[in-house]
Structure formats: C-alpha cells, structure tokens
Amino acid sequence: MSGTDRDTIEAIAYYRSALPEKFGVPRQSGLAPNLKGRIVFEERYSDPNAFDGLEGFDRIWVVWRFDVKKDDTFRAKVRPPRLGGNTYMGVFATRSPFRPNHLGLTCARIEGIGTDENGRCFIDVSGADMTDGTSVYDIKPYIPYADSYPDARGGFAQDEANRYHKLDVDIPDEIKHKFGEDELSGLIEILSLDPRPSYQDDPDRIYGLSYAGSNIKFRVMEDRLMVISVE
C-alpha cells in the first residue's frame, strides 16, 4: 500500500492465541468454536467508549492481514488446500493469502470485552482462524439479518467431496493433564480438523504442532489421529 495517506492503513490491534504458526490454524473461522483468543488494541484505540454497544452483539467481523513474505506478490491462480493442492482456481474465488494487500476476514464469537492491567482494551473471542501476533485492521459487528445468506451457492467449497471430515482424536491422559480445560478443548478441535496438507496421507509420518508453548507430536492412521508426545 502506497501513495496518499488515504491509501495507508495501520494495525489497530493484535491477536493473541495458543497457535504461533500457520500449521494447525483452522482453515476457516468457526470450525473450531472452542479455540480461544484475544484481540488486544493499541493504546491509541484503547478508549472504552469505542466499544460501547458492542456487548449487544454475539459476533464480530475481524479484518486482518495474512503473515506472508514480502516477495509473495499477487497471484491470479492459486491452489486451494481443500482441492488437494494440485487444482488451480482464480484467487478471487478463494481465501488464499496470496492476494492483493493480503487481507483476511474472520467471523468470531465475542466471549468478553474489557481492559487489561496495562490499560489496553481487548475483546476475547472464539472460533478465529488467525495465528498469534496477527495484525488486526478493523472490527465490525456481525448483523444476522444482513450478513447471513444460508441459501447462497458456495462454489467448489460447497462440494460434498470438500466438506470437512473430522478425525477421532486419541490423547493419552498423562498428556491431557498438561493443558487447562479450555486449552485442551481447543487442541482437540484443531487436531480433529486434520491440520495436515490434504495431499499427505502417510500413517508412519510424525507431525509436530506448536500449541500453547508446547510441540504436539502426532500421527494419523485412517480416521484416527493419535498424539504421541508433548515437548
């Protein structure tokens, strides 16, 4: 973004969560409703008056920026992961990060609104599909009568073959006890969504997922994901 001041936007907040890396982040918002996070606003925007009335809404739209490399420029054709990584679609028919301005849009549930010990306003949310540290550019209330069109066509994403199939997750009790109740619920949801690339299906391969300061080691065999260890 360049040119006049009206062409420049700045982060008003940053998202904080247990997922520091892209691997494991749900591919769409709402798929892991128990995954918790916090939007912490910059000092300039931490005026409680700015949030007056927001408590009357259940959900918000979050406008944010994908964390991509500077050389990841606009791509007219991209390969959506849910199509196996080998099928090209027009970028504007996808939610790929390799798009103009790298902007993302998330619908998240509001879990709480407040001010932290540093005087920064925050919104606790659930079900977001962002990594820890994501720059947030704006929030807007979700308005059901205007924002929901259940009969709208969903293109290739509506295909029955591309619907999300959840895995059974097996976590040993000694590993479960390493996490708090909310952390464990979020972890199970993330793993059940199968964070692996859709083109990988090697039952002997061990994957590592960074979550809540730990490295979760797991493997997948058919419809079951088995957590092996936590480091």
- The pLDDT tens digits for 117-130 are 999 999 999 999 99
Name the band, by pLDDT with cuts 50, 70 and 90, for residue 1: very low
Residue 143: pLDDT above 70?
yes
When mean pLDDT is compared over 2-6, 136-140, 149-153, the highest value belongs to 136-140
Q: What is the pLDDT of residue 221?
A: 93
With b for 16 or more beta-carbon neighbours within 10 A and e for fewer, the 109-129 pattern comes to: bbeebeeeeeebbbbbbbbbb
Residue 147: pLDDT above 90?
yes
Q: What is the pLDDT of residue 78?
A: 86
Spell out the domain ranges in the chain: 5-157, 165-230
Name the band, by pLDDT with cuts 50, 70 and 90, for residue 200: confident
Lowest average pLDDT, out of 3-17, 35-49, 117-131, 214-228, goes to 3-17
Q: What is the pLDDT of residue 160?
A: 47
CATH class, domain 5-157, is mainly beta
Greater confidence (216 vs 150) lies with 216
Name the band, by pLDDT with cuts 50, 70 and 90, for residue 201: confident
Q: Could you tell me how far CA 182 lies from the centroid of its own chain?
A: 16
